[in-house]
């Protein structure tokens, strides 16, 4: 069942309140139920305290990267130590609600001028989790003379195009069994199937996932959100974890892509975001998905 608040028994969301600002008090938490899913408007640190301990199977999330993206209500330029302390607190909240055999998929990246930040964060999290897998999300690639995916222009003679981001697969034991073939790919050499005794024409995809963005012509097609990911990314994370009817949490829900993935994979989604406009978009997207399965 979906974990309820204690009182009641995509990503790049904005789920943080800067309480150092006198004009930015924490907003009241609002909860919305859509089908089997729950959406919360509020600070993720406060909302996760309402969720039952060890009640979530999979966490898939893409927090703010702290590289200056433009959100509606969140400042994405904070002092590095402040950002790392905050993200460590978020990870502590996730650990409390995550089942002992759960998976936490953390999508994050740096920038050309701030390349160390993802690694600084993952080192911080060593005291809380084991890094079971490090997946490279490849957004665009060139093989030979053929290019696939969108190459975002880089206005610099110093830096190369940034074609990938990190997906850190964190668990509490480092030994959580996965359904690797649920995201597997067919063998190129079909003789490997019989020669190696495989029952299916599938092999492990590996830790490089090519998932390009759909081509868009305007920001509105990305719901005016600066950091969405393709729905294939959270779907593959949920499939890889391999639990039937999983409870899937995204504490930085943004416009709700992880919840849509949970719906498509037969799971139950819990999404949290501070920004009421993003929560509204997520609600509309989820309603539309339920009307047109």
Q: Is the pLDDT of residue 278 over 80?
A: yes
How high is the pLDDT of residue 292? 86
Q: For residues 249 and 55, what is the distance between their CA atoms, to the nearest angstrom?
A: 10
pLDDT, one tens digit per residue, over 70-86 is 555 655 567 889 999 99
Domains recognised in the chain with CATH numbers: 6-142+161-291 (3.40.50.150)
pLDDT band at 283 (very low <50, low <70, confident <90, very high): very high
Q: Is the pLDDT of residue 6 over 60?
A: no
% of the chain exceeding 90 in pLDDT: 72
pLDDT, one tens digit per residue, over 214-253 is 865 555 545 454 458 999 999 999 999 999 999 999 999 9
How high is the pLDDT of residue 206? 97
pLDDT band at 12 (very low <50, low <70, confident <90, very high): low
Of 17 and 118, the one with more pLDDT: 118
Q: Is the pLDDT of residue 22 over 80?
A: no
pLDDT, one tens digit per residue, over 179-218 is 999 999 999 999 999 998 999 999 999 999 999 988 655 5
Q: For residues 236 and 270, what is the distance between their CA atoms, to the nearest angstrom?
A: 17
Q: Region 93-117: what's the mean pLDDT?
A: 94
pLDDT, one tens digit per residue, over 122-156 is 999 999 999 999 999 999 999 999 999 988 888 88
How high is the pLDDT of residue 220? 57
How high is the pLDDT of residue 72? 57
- Lowest-confidence segment of 12-16, 112-116, 227-231 by average pLDDT: 12-16
Mean pLDDT, rounded, of the chain: 87
How high is the pLDDT of residue 1? 43
Longest dimension (CA), the chain: 68
Of 29 and 114, the one with more pLDDT: 29
Q: Region 274-285: what's the mean pLDDT?
A: 95
């Amino acid at each position: 069942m979906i974990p309820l608040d204690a009182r009641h028994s995509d990503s790049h969301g904005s789920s943080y309140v800067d309480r150092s600002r006198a004009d930015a008090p924490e907003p009241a938490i609002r909860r919305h139920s859509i089908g089997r899913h729950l959406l919360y408007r509020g600070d993720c640190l406060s909302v996760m305290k309402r969720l039952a301990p060890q009640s979530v199977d999979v966490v898939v999330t893409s927090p703010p990267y702290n590289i200056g993206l433009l959100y509606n209500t969140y400042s994405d330029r904070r002092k590095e130590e402040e950002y790392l302390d905050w993200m460590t607190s978020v990870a502590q909240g996730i650990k409390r609600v995550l089942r002992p055999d759960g998976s936490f998929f953390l999508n994050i990246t740096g920038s050309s001028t701030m390349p160390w930040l993802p690694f600084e964060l993952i080192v911080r999290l060593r005291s809380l989790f084991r890094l079971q897998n490090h997946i490279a999300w490849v957004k665009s690639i060139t093989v030979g003379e053929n290019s696939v995916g969108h190459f975002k222009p880089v206005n610099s003679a110093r830096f190369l195009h940034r074609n990938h981001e990190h997906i850190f697969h964190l668990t509490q034991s480092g030994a959580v069994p996965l359904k690797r073939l649920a995201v597997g790919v067919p063998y190129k050499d079909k003789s490997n199937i019989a020669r190696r005794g495989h029952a299916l024409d599938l092999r492990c995809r590996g830790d490089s996932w090519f998932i390009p963005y759909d081509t868009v012509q305007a920001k509105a097609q990305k719901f005016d959100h600066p950091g969405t990911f393709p729905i294939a990314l959270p779907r593959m994370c949920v499939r890889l974890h391999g639990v039937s009817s999983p409870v899937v949490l995204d504490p930085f829900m943004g416009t709700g892509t992880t919840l849509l993935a949970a719906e498509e994979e037969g799971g139950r989604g819990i999404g949290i975001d501070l920004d009421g406009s993003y929560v509204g978009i997520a609600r509309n997207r989820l309603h539309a998905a339920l009307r047109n399965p």
